[in-house]
Structure 1
């Protein structure tokens, strides 16, 4: 079964190093919480808000060991009025035997406001 693993984070400024560091931190957390192996990943979609254009977040993922050949694509998020700014969102399409309810979606920094309904008991 292919499942989607979601994650999001924010950066304080539109600087290359901040974008790459935040993306790497988010992706590593998604990998750890869901025990994701690159060979089980079909693709990764990354979206950014309009105020992020100093770097391609995909660069951070491709630099992770074993992730060089995983298809990664960056795109713009829909610019909804009054939505969260400086936001990087990731969707990993992974082959897994986990049930949908057991997937650990990861929200860091200011992005925790996006899905408060997904808080886990150990996040309290």
Structure 2
């Protein structure tokens, strides 16, 4: 069965190095906490708020060994007034037998405010 694994993080500056590094940390935590192997991933969607323009955060996944052929798409988040700024969100579609309630969703930095109800949000 395909399950969605969610994650989000924030950056302080709209700079390529920071965007790539923050995304890599997020992806690695999502992969580790859910024991994800690249060959089980159907696709990864990454969205950014409109104030992130210095880099494609998808570049970060190519820094992880074995993830060369995983399909990735970047897109813009809906610009809702008063929403969290400088935010990178990830939706990973994974083939897994793990029950939905046992999926570990990862929220870092200011993004912990997006889902305070999830015990898997970490700083």
* TM-score normalised to structure 2 length: 0.97
**Residues in 2 aligned to 1:28 and 1:110: alpha-carbon distance in whole angstroms:** 18
Shift of 1:63: 2.0
Is 1:52 aligned with 2:52? Answer: yes
- Is there any run of 5+ residues in structure 2 with no aligned partner, and where? none
Runs of 4+, deviation exceeding 3 Å: none
Aligned positions, number: 122
| TM superposition shift of 1:37 | 0.1
Q: Distance in 1 between matches of 2:111 and 2:119?
A: 12
CA RMSD of aligned residues (A): 1.2
Q: What's the secondary structure of 1:50's corresponding residue? A: coil
Cα distance in 1 between the residues matched to 2:32 and 2:9: 16
The corresponding residue for 2:35 is 35
Cα distance in structure 2, aligned partners of 1:89 and 1:119: 18
How far apart are the structure 2 equivalents of 1:114 and 1:44? 19
Give unmatched runs, 5+ long, in structure 1.
Answer: none
Deviation at 1:62, TM superposition (A): 1.6
Q: Does 1:118 align with 2:112?
A: no
Counterpart mapping for 1:22-101 below 5 A = 22-101=22-101
